[in-house]
Amino acid sequence: MAENQYTEDNIRSLDWKEHIRLRPGMYIGKLGDGSSADDGIYILVKEVVDNCIDEFVMGNGKRIDIKIKDGKVIVRDYGRGIPLGKVVDVVSKINTGGKYDSKAFKKSVGLNGVGSKAVNALSSHFMIYSVRDGEKKEASFVRGELIEDKPIEKTDEQNGTYAEFYPDEDVFKKFAFKTPYLAKMMWNYCYLNRGLTIKMNGEKFFSKNGLKDLLENNMDGDPLYPIIHLEGEDIEVAFTHGKTYGEDYYSFVNGQHTTQGGTHQSAFRESIAKVIKDFYGKNYEASDIRQSIVASIAVKVMEPIFESQTKTKLGSLEIEPDGKSMRAFINDFLKEKLDNYLHRNPDVAEIIERKIKQSEKERKELSGIRKIARDRAKKANLHNKKLRDCRVHYTDLKNPLHEDTTLFITEGDSASGSITKSRDVKTQAVFSLKGKPLNCYGLTKKVVYENEEFNLIQAALNIELDMDDLRYNKIVIATDADVDGMHIRLLLLTFFLQFFPDLIKRNHVYVLETPLFRVRNKKKTIYCYSEQERRDALSELGKNAEITRFKGLGEISPDEFAHFIGEDIRLEPVILSAESSIDEILSYYMGKNTPARQEFIIDNLRVEEEVSEDVEVKTDNLEKAS
């Protein structure tokens, strides 16, 4: 048996750009094509804008101009500008940047000095220039390699920094920026930095009241009482109760949206329950206090510790520099500010207690039904095999959420069979629906436990008690591209929005795109997702190419299906726009004999032949999704 040689020749040193390009996940998380809000292309934008935000926080530059078109990103701030002699270094030398000087950036968004270097290394084109006091310094790069280093020149431009880049298509396959994700990012920057104006592609983003504005613009329906807005040194909190199920949180650290929460969000959830219990002097259940809460918390921390480079979950246990624990810091703040507010506003305190008692009553009424439903779900999963789980979850129902896990919800045995045989059993699970789900619009949560399909979906997702126990990062609706498939898709979306809206608000729900046509000749096969793609394929392969029209997922063989749920999977996210009201949307689409819906259908009638060959799913908001 030959020995594996281990010599000096096996040791290789990578320069900064080679390492970033070899292991991009270490710097920007997952790559993706832009269908998820945390895909790498959005992290690239964030890393550049973060530098502009740090300038604003330090009191320099109140405006940021952004243009994003055809994959190209341009960001211009009007701060102090990078020191001209260091323009090249700060975007191409690791461990170089102003954020290492705590005097200049005390509570910065980014602290590792790697962000702009990662953008540079992962872009096929990157150009930056800085303007300071009538002088300008410009440099250009290709995949991190310096190709042009212009000398300092005179200019009439306003001070600040300009960055322009195009994500490398060798790294980000077939990527596309989605405006709703970008808009949400810009709004969050403005909510957390009152007085800052961001202009992106002609749209203006500005906030006067911070987190209070965030809740007002993101809540579904009216709050039960006026939003409680509390501020202190290094902390801001806003919350109220709504009319939807569950708990909804927006948490931030140093301007970074911690979408996965962390120690600050956990401390807030624990502290608000404790302070409210103490105020009323009653031992209410924490879950009853927090039921239907909509809240936002932002803290500023010296040298925060995040659990990943993309900074989506805070791990810091203490508030520096005094060393007070995060829990104690937030609890002390709420104990003073919230207790005082409730004493000064007895009408609000009365509404809150009434809401708590209502949640307590509903919980007790459902407790017996829940037990029966859990037993039924266990038996159904055991005998009917409706859920074909992935190996990540075979042995542990409480397994932490893995970003690669996906649950496909399919219609019928044939479709689920094809996906089951072609899936990646490590991370992809399949749930098979039996017929069309119930239209649950306007029904109470009791239906979730009494309806077999809904009960089993809830059990499969493991979201009975808390969204924190969600077992799959992506929930993919995989239905046929016909009238029945569209109807099933809408019924499932109604279920999620009615009882578990956070699944959609937190970007967990997607629609699987599968090809409508297969065009092939003896040399090549092309799968087409629209009539236009079919025409293009015919132009490429010739008019004599064989054309197959897929009428349902069950008609696609497992071998072919592997192409559509593997690396080249096409997912359309279900996104609620800021203007969307869940109740209004569901009433329009799922209410009985809605006049507005009837009028829309009449005004938009089409001859069947005109649309039968070109069915397109659009889910940039729920209206388009349905």
**What are the φ and ψ backbone dihedral angles of 310, each rounded to 5 degrees?**
-80, 0
Report yes or no: 251 and 296 within 8 Å, Cβ to Cβ. Answer: yes
> What are 303's two structure tokens?
């040298």
Confidence band, pLDDT 50/70/90 cuts, at residue 14: low
Provide the pLDDT for residue 550. 84
Provide the pLDDT for residue 608. 39
C-alpha–C-alpha distance, residues 108 and 253, integer Å: 10
* CB neighbour class for 248 (10 Å; exposed up to 12, middle 13-18, buried from 19): buried
User: Would you say residue 451 has pLDDT above 70?
Assistant: yes
C-alpha–C-alpha distance, residues 587 and 603, integer Å: 19
Range with lowest mean pLDDT among 45-54, 197-206, 442-451: 442-451
Provide the pLDDT for residue 393. 58
Confidence band, pLDDT 50/70/90 cuts, at residue 310: low
Range with lowest mean pLDDT among 163-177, 278-292, 463-477: 463-477
Region 194-198: what's the mean pLDDT? 94
**What are the φ and ψ backbone dihedral angles of 399, each rounded to 5 degrees?**
-55, 135
Q: Which domains does the chain have, with CATH numbers?
A: 16-205 (3.30.565.10), 211-361 (3.30.230.10), 385-514+550-625 (3.40.50.670)
Model confidence over 516-530: pLDDT tens digits?
888 999 889 998 888
> What are 126's two structure tokens?
């990157």
Supply the DSSP string of 89-157, one letter for each residue: HHTTSTT-SGGG-TTT-TT-S--SS-HHHHHHHTEEEEEEEEEETTEEEEEEEETTEEEEEPPPEE--S
Region 487-510: what's the mean pLDDT? 89
Provide the pLDDT for residue 224. 94
C-alpha–C-alpha distance, residues 535 and 488, integer Å: 29
Provide the pLDDT for residue 355. 95
What's the Rg (C-alpha) of the chain? 26
Provide the pLDDT for residue 104. 43
C-alpha–C-alpha distance, residues 529 and 516, integer Å: 5
Q: What's this model's pTM, rounded to 2 decimal places?
A: 0.78
C-alpha–C-alpha distance, residues 224 and 227, integer Å: 9
**What are the φ and ψ backbone dihedral angles of 433, each rounded to 5 degrees?**
-80, 150
- Higher pLDDT among residues 294 and 395, named by residue: 294
